[in-house]
């Protein structure tokens, strides 16, 4: 899908990320993950993505890839969602063109 569409996966561009940031569904730290998976220490899956396509006149620089929310809602025993939120900070600029004379 990525090679045909020209999309860039922000997660892949981020390089090495901590293990706990590699799953967005059924994360072992998420309160909605079935206890049977947590007991067996079965890691979740990455099913949420941020993709972008820079285009021929645009350059995109990934500055940050992150799971921004805490494990639990403050003062509560549950997670915000069964999916982990993901965020990417992208710097988008027009490509500079060199003029030759």
Catalytic residue annotation = 83
Report how far residue 28's alpha carbon sits from residue 26's, in angstroms, rounded to the nearest whole number.
6
Q: How many angstroms separate the Cα of 98 from the Cα of each of 57, 61, 92, 95?
A: 13, 20, 19, 10
Report how far residue 63's alpha carbon sits from residue 71's, in angstroms, rounded to the nearest whole number.
23
Would you say 7 and 53 are in contact if contact means Cβ atoms under 8 Å apart?
A: yes
């Amino acid at each position: 899908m990525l090679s045909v569409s020209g999309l860039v996966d922000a997660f892949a561009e981020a390089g090495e990320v901590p293990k706990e940031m590699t799953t967005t569904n059924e994360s072992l730290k998420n309160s909605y993950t079935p206890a049977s998976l947590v007991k067996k220490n079965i890691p979740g899956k990455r099913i949420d993505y941020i993709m972008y396509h820079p285009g021929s006149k645009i350059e995109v620089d990934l500055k940050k890839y992150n799971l921004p929310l805490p494990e639990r809602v403050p003062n509560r025993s549950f997670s915000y969602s069964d999916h982990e939120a993901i965020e990417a900070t992208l710097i988008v600029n027009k490509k500079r063109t060199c003029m030759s004379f």
